[in-house]
Structure 1
Amino acid sequence: MENKLDLIELLAYVDPAALDYQEWVNVGMALKHEGYTASDWDQWSESDSRYRAGECFKKWTSFEGNGSPVTGATITQMAKDNGWQPRSQREDHELDWNDEISGDYVVIDKNWIEGKEIKEPSAWNPVRELTRYLEALFESTENVGYVTETYEVTDDKTGEIVHKPTKGASDRTAGKLIELLSQSNGDIGSVLGDYNEKAGAWIRFNPLDGNGVKNDNVTEFRYALVESDGMEIEKQNAVLRELELPIACLVHSGKRSLHAIVRVDAADYPEYRKRVDYLYDVCKKNGFIVDSQNRNPSRLSRMPGIERNGKKQFIVDTNIGKANWEEWNEWIEGINDDLPDPESLTDFWNDMPEKAPPLIHGLLRQGHKMLMAGPSKAGKSFALIELSIALAEGRKWLSWDCTRGKILYVNLELDRASCLHRFKDVYTALGWPPDNLSNIDIWNLRGKSVPMDKLAPKLIRRAQKSNYIAVIIDPIYKVLTGDENSADQMAHFTNQFDKICTELGSSVIYCHHHSKGSQGNKKSMDRASGSGVFARDPDALIDLVELELTDSLMKQEEGKAMCAVYQKYMETHNFNYLDEHVSQDDLLSVTSMVDHAKRSIPDYMDAANKEADAAVQKVRIRSAWRVEGTLREYPKFEAVNMWFDYPVHVVDETGGLKDIEPEGEGPAWKKNFDKKKSNKDRKEEQKEALETAYEACSIDENVTVDALAEFMGVTDKTVRNRIKTHGGFWVDDGQVGRK
């Protein structure tokens, strides 16, 4: 049956020797559940040194099944973990979503490769075999490690006697060994010592310092060992050659595997590890099941010129594939080159392709990237939530119209409940009916976030069928990898956003923080913290900078708020009076509006006064911001001034903020003067800041230390210290209240 063929084929990717006992049993249970025979399990298990005849059949009869059976999916996952891919993915070079998005490096399909025959040497010359090996891998002055002595241990699982190699010797150079071998009359044992013919002998493929046989004793990280026990040896030979690995020497182990000594030419141990990981990854993706225990540079490999159990350990070939690591690496990187060919402009001059439709009109196109930068008090998260809602509802965000569609909001910072409440609070504050809630998906990843290069494929896999027009990631510092001041590392980081845009066809919108210090005298594209890549990479850069409010403006705003309250009460309870007696000038005068209110709505005066006081307090806790930007697809826009009236941003339609300077943009004498504040003034400012933050956060009813810290842009510890100094608040298990 077709299913049976599939699972037996998958088992070629699973090495029984690499599994523990329970994993091995799970394979048997899965095979039985899917209708296979005990012989199938037994034949696959034979390649494991722990194999005992009859054990599979004995176990098979005990697999009776239960409510949660082990199915063929277990084998499928094991095969995937070792490089197997469904045929559709192999043919189309699509990504396996459990891998990083970094290229498939798929060169071959081992299922379509015929095995390449291996011939034993026609004239057996042990000395010549070993001499060829030494000449191929070592300089004459380099020390060589080798082992001929063994000791016996009993395998705990199988009860069999196993021969293990000792540390061996490393005190002689390759040149000396070659000299002694040439004088040995064919007796290798007289040079290296006699070996146990049941066990064979081993040799280390990297040169040593002569003082030991550990990784620290390796003097040149020149070679790595590639070996597999999970496929036919003739097919191993064919696959290794098809992969063009830079093999210095290929040795038959005398049993069921080939030992490929591959040139990696690493400068040091860290680079060696990276190159071996890369090498093994390429092998696995091409169906060659690598024994991952062979990673160490001081690892033992089978010595050619030796016989064990009557089978020869011999050199199959030397200098196979590419000449060196660099040449092979360049070939592998280019083999899956899916870059487009150059195009002639003449072919499209009279038939230009359509541009991507706008997502945020005048600001960002669909499938493009946008970065929002600002300091911690700017309410960037609230601005992104406002944008999410505007896109979902097809409404205006700040000064820009938005295309309606489905969005994914990736929440990396807030706990799930707080995030959901924020969306509802913002909807309520905006006064918009939630007509299109189904257009908003939220992916809550607080405490579960991973680096961006690992998150991107997981995000794409989950989002590929949802037709999102935008993916909003808040904030990026949670998934930032590398040094944010390194252009090279940040380019790799931001490339992940390109992959999301390309794979999903949606825009990626993310936020980042400002660098330290005053921002007012900087250009918008220079304010984001870290490398200039953050400014150059996005198609739209939106920057928020705080405005320094003057006393006169604040009094003006307080007056407007009070007047609006009295006007509302008169509209509700005595509209005729308002229409007949209140002029346009009166509507802007607190004194006049209070007098009119006393005459027209005396019964509601207490309530109006109370609401007016609350409106003034709300004005006092507002902050003012200017939105500037740098765009790639659209002309530069005029700066947008707005208030952050927790929890939403409100555009300043009256122009009151137009002439206000950003923080830090005043003259030098004023900056120096402002620095000379007394301790008393600073404490008073801190006290007012705490009260302002408390009032702002009390909209959520329960005020927490975390919320205050976020609003004030300080740490939890600073908040607790200020509460203690203030004296008018209490703290209990993170909750804050007035005494």
Structure 2
Amino acid sequence: MTKYDLKELLEYIDPSSLSYQEWCNVGMALKHEGYSADDWDSWSSADSRYKKGECFTKWNSFNEEAGAVVTGGTIFEYAKRGGWHPPVKEKYKDGAIDWDDEIGSIIDADSVDSIELQEPSDNDWHPSNELIRYLSTLFETDDYVGFVMQSMENDKGKYIPGNRGIYKMTAGELIEKLHKCNDDIGEVLGDYNQEAGAWIRFNPLNGEGVRNADITSFKYALVESDSIDIGKQLSIIHQIELPVAAVVYSGSKSIHAIVKIEANDSKEYKERVAYLYKICDKNGLEVDNQNKNPSRLSRMPGVIRGEHKQFIIETNTGKESYDEWVEWIESIDDDLPDEECLADSLKDIPDYAEELIPGILRQGHKMLLVGPSKSGKSFALIELCIAITEGTEWIGRKCKQGNVLYVNFELDRPSCLHRFEDVYNSLGIPEGKRHSKNLYTWNLRGKTLTLDKLVPKLIRRAKKRNYRAVVIDPIYKVITGDENSASEMANFCNQFDKIAEATGASVIYAHHHSKGAQGSKKSMDRASGSGVFARDPDALLDMIELDMNKEVKEHFLNEARVEAMHAVLDKYVPKWRTYIYQTKKTDDHDFEAMNDYCAEMLGFEQMNELQYLTELKVDEAKHITALQISGTLREFATFDPINCFFKYPIHFLDNGNLLKGCRPEGSKKKSKFEKMNETNKKKQDENIELFLNAFDQLNHDGQVTVKELAESGLMMGKTQSALRGAIPRWIKKEELKGFEYSNGIIKKT
């Protein structure tokens, strides 16, 4: 950290503006940082409360060995309140937040120094001034203030408020009476039990009650934590710059920070308090969630509780307002790049990322493979992993060679390894020539986290091996949120960007088709769920099954029979190929000629063996499927559809053009009625997606009214009447699963 002269920072701090505790904090910080008591005394002399020699006496009482430490950071905080601005936020000046930092994590709570609290001595104890300062800080003179002086002991021996208290006096009335009471606040507020202390509400009331509904202005929220040392609590409050109006010592094991919330209504108050508590929790200040109500009681300064005083530690610290604080929090988290001047950028245009799969996918980009169930998507991805590892072809394109990580969610480890071995063998790559030392599998079946939780762990591992590609198979195992929600799936797909950005690897993943026939749909419309799946990746490859005609099927059956003949002839007639070529002068794949030759050359037992093997090969051939791969590409021109076959366990191209004229399954010509139904279904799907997006935006407490939907404009101008008719129909037909409708209100069940 840059070193500053703390004596220069003291010029920004008016000692007369500090509480007794804050004044002590300055002294302890100076002592900790190696300054002298003279420095503290010289600065303190500007205060009308200054007493000669007091600084030196107090200085000698500061004892860090007792466990309380105040560092120079406290003086930084007080100086900022006085108008000093550091040239740069030291913690973040070297760049963006590291990947492992959580959003909202500003500090390392384990390394926070503890600030020693200095309880006012009896000579310095002025209860009226404590309470006047509190009221003046938090309330307007005409605000009604609620407080409770009576207490009762519960069955656990803990003192709690004994009643609803008083709530019909204004801050102005209280302050006027406190000025005249000569520090006997019981005369103004009523007597209290000094074993229990007393309580006060921090938000103004309407003078009629003390419920949340009686709050007139949602100004403040209470932050209280009793799980860590009090001095650390205060230090964390300083370091995360909470917009504090007042901090009060409770007289026990916590401090009460009254934080500026400045909400317009109860709904906004609830949202802001939730955000406030989230940031506190992430930075080690575990907040008591029971305090989230705006009418909550807090500890009243100026009273005794047991052996300690309830007193104001400080007022108006941290950021000036809630909005300023949120902007600061988010600016710390903002790891976005700066804007660029196009004229300057065009002078030095970087090269394109190299092509991992030529004409389809660049290094560091995303690719989605979509297909029907049992079309061999996982085998296609394994083939791609091997092609990148070996630098060989995949769907006819030679891949850039490099390390690959295959993330397996679906298969147990033995099955996954057997698949790789089977594919390697079927591709004809012998073990001695493989580069499989560069191909890694991460087997997570039964250990699957949601993708947002998994990604940081994946990135930490991926950074060690400089992967060219990370292949995730399948994604349905790690989807977070509703597959049909555009906003939720956009957030889900953003996780792939994080992997690519952090590792430089291409991210390749598979998804399945929606239910029903796909042949009549465009390739971008076949993926199950939200259209985000099709729009998000840089390359979308869609696999659809083709209807093989009789000729194609017969071709593979004959190929199977010939393959069986070759195997038996290799076993019993080693030189048969020479004879076929030279004597018969025929092709060794001519089924009729080979059939005649086998009948001529093989004996009875050998023909039986051939028949058995032929039956096995023919059965395999009957399970061959034909597929067409089409692409929707962001970086390249669209390529002509690629026809191929899947014969377990690999795909191979239709180099013989056997599939010419074969159509995708379900692509028969539609009747006029079918086309009309399809159009209506498409419109309905679009309307449902609009509804889901609108519900996400308007949702409060799990419900939205039809009136709100219509007036929001998010439903493309649909009237209340139209929505009242459509939404119940969608729910009844289960087009909207998980919703219910009644009396104009849609609820998420």
TM-score class normalised by the smaller sequence: 0.5 to 0.7
Bigger shift: residues 363-372 or 565-574: 565-574
Alignment match, 1:165 = 160
Report the RMSD for the aligned CA atoms in angstroms: 4.5
Task: Give the Å deviation of 1:192.
Answer: 5.5
1:443 paired residue number: 442
In structure 2, the residue matched to 1:599 is 600
**Closer, same or farther: CA 245–580 of 1 in aligned 2, 3 Å:** same
What residue is the counterpart of 1:386 in the other structure? Answer: 383
Residue equivalent to 1:510: 509
Return closer, same or farther for 1:560/1:163 CA change in 2, 3 Å cut-off.
closer
> Residues 447, 107 of structure 1: CA spacing in aligned structure 2 closer, same or farther, 3 A cutoff?
closer
CA distance in 2, matches of 1:560, 1:390: 26
For the 8 Å contact 1:89–1:95, the answer to whether it is kept is: no
Q: In 1, Cα distance between the equivalents of 2:337 and 2:585? A: 68
| Residue 559 (structure 1) aligns with | 558
- Equivalent AA in structure 2 for residue 593 of structure 1: M
Determine the C-alpha separation between the residues in 2 that align with 1:470 and 1:415: 22
**Could you say which residue in structure 2 is the equivalent of 1:225?**
222
> Residue 633 of structure 2 corresponds to which residue in structure 1?
631
The percentage of counterpart residues that share the same residue type is 45
The residue identity in structure 2 corresponding to 1:483 is D
TM-score relative to the length of structure 2: 0.66
Matched to 2:581, the amino acid is: D
Letter in 2 for 1:643: F
User: Is 1:353 matched up with 2:350?
Assistant: yes
1:523-534 matches, within 5 Å, as 523-534=522-533
8 Å CA contact 1:627–1:639 kept in 2: the answer is yes
Structure 1: 5+ residue stretches without partners: 1-39, 47-86, 155-161, 673-739
Q: Partner letter of residue 640 of structure 1?
A: I
Q: Residues 177 and 334 from structure 1, CA distance in 2 versus in 1: closer, same or farther, beyond 3 angstroms?
A: closer
Once the two structures are TM-superposed, the CA of residue 306 in structure 1 deviates from its matched residue by 2.1
Which residue type is aligned with residue 374 of structure 1?
G
CA shift, 1:183, in A, is: 6.1
CA distance in 2 between partners of 1:548 and 1:198 (Å): 86
CA contact (8 A) 1:374 1:545 kept: yes
Q: Kindly indicate whether the alpha-carbon contact (under 8 Å) linking 1:451 and 1:479 is maintained by their aligned counterparts in 2.
A: yes
Distance 1:218 1:476, change over 3 A: farther
* Equivalent residue letter for 1:164: Y
Structure 1 stretch displaced more, 357-366 or 310-319: 310-319
SS across alignment from 1:668:
coil
| Residue 48 of structure 2: aligned partner | none
SS at match of 2:529: coil
How far off its partner does 1:441 sit?
2.0
Alignment of 1:644 onto 2:623:
no
Change in Cα spacing, 1:211 to 1:416, as seen in structure 2 (3 Å) is: farther
Q: Which residue of 2 aligns with 1:400?
A: 397
What do the CA deviations read for 1:457-499 (whole angstroms, capped 9, x no partner)? 1111233212222111111122211222333222222222111
Q: 1:136 to 1:103 in 2, by over 3 A?
A: closer
Contact 2:241 2:317 in 1 (8 A): yes
8 Å Cα contact 1:225-1:294 kept in structure 2: no
2:372 pairs with one of 367, 371, 375? 375
Indicate which of 664, 667, 670 corresponds to 1:668: 670
| Deviation of the 1:224 alpha carbon | 3.1
Change (3 A) 1:415 1:178: farther
Deviation at 1:384, TM superposition (A): 1.5
CA shift, 1:249, in A, is: 3.5
- Secondary structure at the counterpart of residue 468 of structure 2: strand
CA distance in 2, matches of 1:196, 1:629: 78
- Tell me which residue corresponds to 1:681: none
**Counterparts in 2 of 1:339 and 1:586: CA distance versus 1, 3 Å:** closer
* Partner SS for 1:384: helix
Cα distance in 1, alignment partners of residues 159 and 172 from structure 2: 26
- Structure 2 distance, partners of 1:418, 1:268, is 58
- 3-state DSSP of counterpart to 2:378: helix
One-letter identity of the residue aligned with 1:449: T
1:506–1:550 Cα change, 3 Å: same
Structure 1 position 410 matched with structure 2 position 401:
no
CA contact (8 A) 2:256 2:298 kept: yes
**In structure 2, the residue corresponding to 1:282 is in which secondary structure?**
helix
Counterpart in the other structure of 1:545: 544
**Do 1:147 and 1:165's aligned partners in 2 also have CA atoms closer than 8 Å?**
no
1:479 is matched with which residue? 478
Code of the aligned partner of 1:343: E
- Residues in 2 aligned to 1:41 and 1:613: alpha-carbon distance in whole angstroms: 88
- Equivalent residue number for residue 460 of structure 1: 459
AA partner of residue 596 (structure 2): D
User: Contact 2:161/2:199 (CA < 8 Å) preserved in 1?
Assistant: no
Does 2:656 align with 1:654?
yes
**Shift in Å, 1:214:** 9.3
Over residues 377-423 of structure 1, what are the superposed CA-to-partner deviations in whole Å (9 max), with x where a residue is unaligned? 22212222222222222222222222222222211222233222222
- Deviation, 1:375, is 1.9
Please tell me the residue identity of whatever aligns with 1:612.
Answer: T
Q: Following the alignment from structure 1 to structure 2, what is the Cα–Cα distance between the partners of residues 174 and 479?
A: 56
State the secondary structure of the residue aligned to 1:225.
strand
User: What CA distance in whole angstroms lies between the structure 1 residues aligned with 2:418 and 2:206?
Assistant: 64
Whole-angstrom CA distance in 1 between matches of 2:287 and 2:402: 49
Correspondence for 2:334: 337
Name the aligned partner's letter for residue 529 of structure 1.
S
Cα deviation for residue 257 of structure 1 reads 5.2
**Secondary structure at 1:468's aligned position in 2?**
coil
In 2, the alpha carbon distance for the partners of 1:43 and 1:302 equals: 26
1:199 aligns with 2:173: no
Output the CA distance in 1 between the equivalents of 2:236 and 2:120: 17
Query: 1:96 and 1:656, CA in 2 relative to 1: closer, same or farther beyond 3 A?
Result: closer
Contact map agreement 1:472 1:508 (CA 8 A) in 2: yes
Matched residue, 1:24: none
Specify the code of the residue in structure 2 equivalent to 1:599: E
**Counterpart AA for 1:641:** N
Structure 2: stretches of 5+ with no match in the other structure: 1-62, 70-89, 675-749
1:151 matched to 2:153: yes
Partner of 1:51 in structure 2? none
How many angstroms apart in 2 are the aligned matches of 1:378 and 1:671? 31
Deviation at 1:661, TM superposition (A): 0.9
Structure 1 residue 580 corresponds to structure 2 residue 582 = yes
Question: Residue 458 of structure 1 aligns to a residue in which SS?
Answer: helix
CA 352–376 in structure 1, closer or farther in 2 if over 3 Å, else same: same
Q: Please point out which of 608, 618, 621 is paired with 2:620.
A: 618
Number of residue pairs matched?
582
Residues 133 and 249 in structure 1, CA contact (< 8 A), matched pair in contact too: no
Whether the 8 Å contact between 2:151 and 2:196 is mirrored in structure 1 is: no
Match of 1:81 in 2: none
Q: How far apart, CA to CA, are the structure 2 residues paired with 1:424 and 1:209?
A: 76
Does the CA contact (< 8 Å) of 1:467 and 1:504 recur in 2?
Answer: yes
Give the secondary-structure state (helix, strand or coil) at the position aligned to 2:460. Answer: helix
Which SS does the other structure have where 2:495 is aligned? Answer: helix
1:233-274 C-alpha deviation (Å, 9 max, x unpaired): 788667645544233433343467542222346789997676
Q: Is the 8 A contact 1:119 1:316 kept in 2?
A: no
Q: Is the 8 A contact 2:361 2:367 kept in 1?
A: yes
Question: Which piece of structure 1 moves more, 420-429 or 133-142?
Answer: 133-142
* Distance across 2 between alignment mates of 1:356 and 1:450: 31
Q: 1:531 to 1:642 in 2, by over 3 A?
A: same
Q: Aligned partner of 1:169: which letter?
A: R
What are the Cα deviations for residues 69-99 of structure 1, in whole angstroms up to 9, with x where unaligned?
xxxxxxxxxxxxxxxxxx99997665474x6
Measured at CA, do residues 142 and 637 of structure 1 come closer, stay the same or move farther in structure 2, by a change above 3 Å?
farther
For the residue of structure 2 that corresponds to 1:624, the secondary structure is strand
- Whole-angstrom CA distance in 2 between matches of 1:554 and 1:211: 86
Pairwise CA distance, 1:333: 0.6
Residue 112 and residue 302 in structure 1: after superposition, are their counterparts in 2 closer, same or farther (change >3 A)?
closer
Q: 1:294: how far off?
A: 5.8
* Contact persistence 2:141–2:171 (CA under 8 A): no
Counterpart AA for 1:619: A
Q: 1:212 to 1:581 in 2, by over 3 A?
A: farther
Q: Distance in 2 between matches of 1:359 and 1:303?
A: 67
> Any conservation in 2 of the 1:283–1:289 contact (CA below 8 Å)?
yes
Counterparts of 1:147 and 1:480 in 2: how far apart (Å)? 54
Q: CA distance change for structure 1 residues 564 and 182 in 2, over 3 Å: closer, same or farther?
A: same
